Structures are given as structure tokens and as C-alpha cells.
Amino acid sequence: MMLSIDNVETLHFGEDGLLPVIAQNVDSGEVLMVAWANREAVNASLVSGRAVFWSRSRQRLWEKGETSGHTLAISSIHADCDRDTLLMLVRPNGAACHTGTMTCFSDTPLTRGGPYGFLATLDNVIDQLLHSTDPKSYTARLIAEGPKRLAQKVGEEGVETALALSSGSDDDARSEAADLLFHLIVALKARGMTLTEVIDELNRRHRTS
């Protein structure tokens, strides 16, 4: 059941007034974290469009990212068949875990929800670099050079990929294709777009073809 303000009353909270909430990256499919919510937290999440939970240790509502800035933007919320557990499909703005990892189920800074799921992780990391001024970051420097430079890089990488595919080795083709995809994602992010929008367009074309 997709949750809305109109059907919150059908949820079955536990004796403590809480139910578990699983937060999952809507783009990569990665399970990010598990938390708890009472009725007030569920309502706050639905109204704000950002993940709000109930802290059992602090005994209060807390919005994910209220101190770190690593918020979870809600795509949709779904109740299970018993209506006593919620699945929250989200787009994370930074690390989901308080330890700094992308999920609470990994001890590495970047995780891969399968080979395609990593693209969502990469998209998210690039998003964090949009306003970075770190001189050591190639991505931050590239974004600072502006849209024309980004478009030029996409064009250059496209030509190099085409040449590698026509006359290069498999290693060359693989490397150049990775460069092209990376620079394309950066250019999209700098324009205010996401890779998900491109995937949605491909999906739309597939459905109508």
C-alpha cells in the first residue's frame, strides 16, 4: 500500500507506538538504514517530503540529516501487507549512516547496489561536489569552469570513445566509455539534472516502442 495522509490511520503501530522503517535508495535499490517512527514522525515525513523518525534514545522526533545535512528526500512510502512496517524509497543527500558510509550495512565509503546501482552512488557523490571548492578535486575544478567547458569535455570524450570502439582495444574502449559516462553525469548535474531523468526517458521510450 502506498502511504498518504489519507490512509495513515490504517497503520498498525506497536504497543510502544512505533513501527520499523526501512529506507531504500530508490535509484540504486540499496538498503540504506533502518529506523523507527511513531504516527507523528510518519505524518511529518509525508508533509515535509523528507525522512523524519523517532529517536528511541533521545525520545524525540529527528529529521535525518538535521545536523549533518545528509537528508533523505522521499520518493514514496509503502506499508507492508500487515501495515506494521514501512518501506521508504528515498534519494539520499550524502552518507546515510552516521559513520560516514553510504549505508548502515557497509563499512566502506562507497557501496555498490550491483554494477548499475553504483551509478546512483556516483551520481550522489558528484552532487556533493557541485559546490565544493576543494582545489584537489578534479570534479570540483571541472564544474567551476562552467557549462561550456563541461560540454567540450563531453564532446572530447565522445570522440575518444568512438575512436576506441572503432579501432582500439577492449581496454581502450572500456576506459574511454567510463570517461564519457563520468563527464556526462557531471555535465547533467551541473545543469541541475540527474542520471535518473535520463534513465526515466529511456524507460518511457521502451514502454512506447
DSSP characters for 111-138?
A: --SHHHHHHHHHHHHHHHTTT---TT-H
Type of residue at 133: T
Q: Name the residue ranges covered by the structural domains of the chain.
A: 5-92, 129-208
- 48, 54 contact by CB (below 8 A): no
Region for 44 from its dihedrals, namely left if φ exceeds 0, alpha if ψ lies in -120 to 50, beta otherwise:
alpha
| pLDDT band at 126; cut points 50, 70, 90 | confident
Pick the CATH number of 129-208 from 2.60.40.3500, 3.10.20.740, 3.40.50.300, 1.10.287.1080: 1.10.287.1080
- The predicted-structure confidence for 131-181, as pLDDT tens digits, reads as follows 788 888 899 899 999 999 999 999 999 999 999 999 999 999 999 999 999
Predicted model pTM: 0.62
Position 123 scores a pLDDT of 80
Give CATH superfamily name and number for 5-92. Answer: Phosphoribosyl-AMP cyclohydrolase (3.10.20.810)
Residue 39 CA: distances (Å) to CA of 35, 81, 86, 101: 14, 18, 12, 29
- The predicted-structure confidence for 59-115, as pLDDT tens digits, reads as follows 999 999 998 888 999 999 999 999 999 999 999 888 888 887 888 987 655 544 555
pLDDT higher for 27 or 172? 172
Position 30 scores a pLDDT of 86
Side-chain half-sphere of 86: how many Cα atoms within 13 Å?
36
Position 114 scores a pLDDT of 56
- 55, 62 contact by CB (below 8 A): yes
